[in-house]
A and B are shown apart, each in its own frame.
Chain A
Amino acid sequence: MIEILVTTDKLIPQSSLDAVADPSAGGTTQFIGTVRNQTKGKKVLKLEFEAYVPMAEKEMQKIAEEVEKRWNALHVSMHHHVGTLEVGEIPVVISVATSHRKAAFEACQYAIDTLKETVPIWKKEYFEDGEVWVAAHP
């Protein structure tokens, strides 16, 4: 089962875990991304996430399908927030349930790494002296 969610609501890691619960799972991994308080020593005030929602959902679905196929995952849940977040809040949650633990770790890592490369979501960092779209420039 695949669960994809792009939402302006606050992300609840437990709800993503509940979505992948399965009695035949031997292990479940969960990645929780959180807003860090600094970037290269500069204090971060808040982050703002923007998404091209229909394509973001489609690209996340592709990642989840690849995870199911390549690691034989039982269930995959990927949640991403859009809107403004403060330090410590959660922009992304990924949960993967598999029969054996090794696959769960690898699959979850693949899912977050690929999300960062392909899913059309953008974040802007707000500092005390200005704001910047992350990774936009070399």
Chain B
Amino acid sequence: MNLTLIAYGIAKDILKGSESTFSIKGQPTIGDIKAKLIADHPAFAELQSLKFAVNQDYQSDDFKVSENDEIVIIPPVSGG
């Protein structure tokens, strides 16, 4: 499956862009995507936390993504 990850904040700096596309076997979970992202970009492992949102809701590692989902990398938030 081809996936596009959308990045904000420090994730954008690590990926050197606001989007990253890659292909991954089968129907991956958020956990699979996280592992792949860290393998490709070790800087993600150094963050205080690394969460993901699918279609604008936080999802945990066991959530399976589908082809047209909007997947966003959520590095540690710091609003307010």
Chain A contacts to B: CB under 8 angstroms: 33, 49-52, 54-56, 58, 80, 91-92, 112, 115-124, 133-138
Q: Could you show 21 A-B contacts with beta carbons less than 8 Å apart?
A: A52-B53, A52-B56, A52-B74, A80-B80, A91-B79, A91-B80, A112-B80, A116-B77, A116-B78, A119-B79, A120-B53, A120-B77, A121-B77, A122-B10, A122-B77, A122-B78, A123-B79, A134-B78, A135-B76, A136-B47, A137-B48
Say which residue of A115, A117, A121, A137 sits within 8 Å of B47 (CB atoms). Answer: A137
Interface residue ranges of B20-68 to A (CB < 8 Å): 46-48, 53, 56-58
Chain B contacts to A: CB under 8 angstroms: 6, 8-10, 13, 46-48, 53, 56-58, 72, 74-80
Q: Is the interface of A mostly helix, strand, loop or mixed?
A: mixed
* A138 and chain B: residue at smallest CB distance: B48
